[in-house]
Amino acid sequence: MSDFKTLRLLHEGAVLGVELNSPETGNAVSGLMLDELLAVLGTLADRPDVRVLVLSGAGDHFCLGADRAEFAKIIANDPADGRLRALGTKARMVCDALATSDVATVARVHGGVIGAGVALAVFCDLRVGAEDCRFRLPELALGMPPAWGGSLPRLIQEAGAARVRELLMTGENFTAARAADLSLLHKVVPVAELDDAVDRWTRPLVRRSAAALRTTKIMMNAYASAARLADASLFDAELMTVAVASRAGRR
């Protein structure tokens, strides 16, 4: 687990820290990063020593979104050749794994939290942000549908359809305080207090019954799914591929 190129792991007691570690790109989410996140998240069911996972970002930002350079290469080649669809499928798998993992997941965010970065954070159980956070959902402004990782139903579930519609259609930046008002953050603290805020959550979480925590997460996810009736985000990878292929064809 020490050979990852885009992640840094820190295991302290029952807490596993997973840091997005590509600060030169603003921790942009690439296919490699998705593969490495899946490799980590896929082991959690077999690791009773881990009770809490804390997701954070190295450098000045939590995550500035999907890797646009990688997208550009795919589009320049052939956006319908399956690679974009594969990326979308991996993104969905990562977000599902964060939401359904047996362990409690905590997002520790700072700086820019854009697009895919918002998705990674919102699929965590608990989310704390620094006062300097700036959020944005830029997909529509980039000519893309909001189809990364199945995030749209999760955003609607957490923040409400009317507010999410506004954020998507305007593409405006919004602050940590606004994110808290929208329930996208549970807590906002000064940058220097981020680690203390995470610790205040992880200390009691590691003492919770593993079975009770797992069952609680299953129940929460089941009730949320029932409220949505049908999850159209299952088609996100296909929608992304079609949209990008159509956009490329108009060039």
Q: What is the pTM of this model?
A: 0.87
Residues of the chain short of pLDDT 70, as ranges, are: 1-2, 78-81, 225-251
Sheet of 104-109, strands arranged across: 7-12, 15-20, 52-57, 104-109, 126-130, 187-189
Asked if residue 51 lies in contact with residue 210, where contact means CB atoms within 8 angstroms, the answer is yes
Question: Rounded CA gap, 94 and 91, in Å?
Answer: 5
* Cβ within 8 Å of residue 90, ≥6 positions away: 31, 34, 35, 38
CA 55 from centroid of its chain's CA atoms: 9
Q: What is the pLDDT of residue 2?
A: 61
> Domain residues of the chain, as ranges?
7-192+219-249
Q: Token pair for residue 221?
A: 């996810």
pLDDT tens digits, 158-202: 999 999 999 999 999 999 999 999 999 999 999 999 999 999 999
Of the candidates 103, 81, 83, the one whose C-alpha atom is nearest the C-alpha of residue 91 is 83
Q: Domain 7-192+219-249: which topology?
A: 2-enoyl-CoA Hydratase; Chain A, domain 1 (3.90.226)
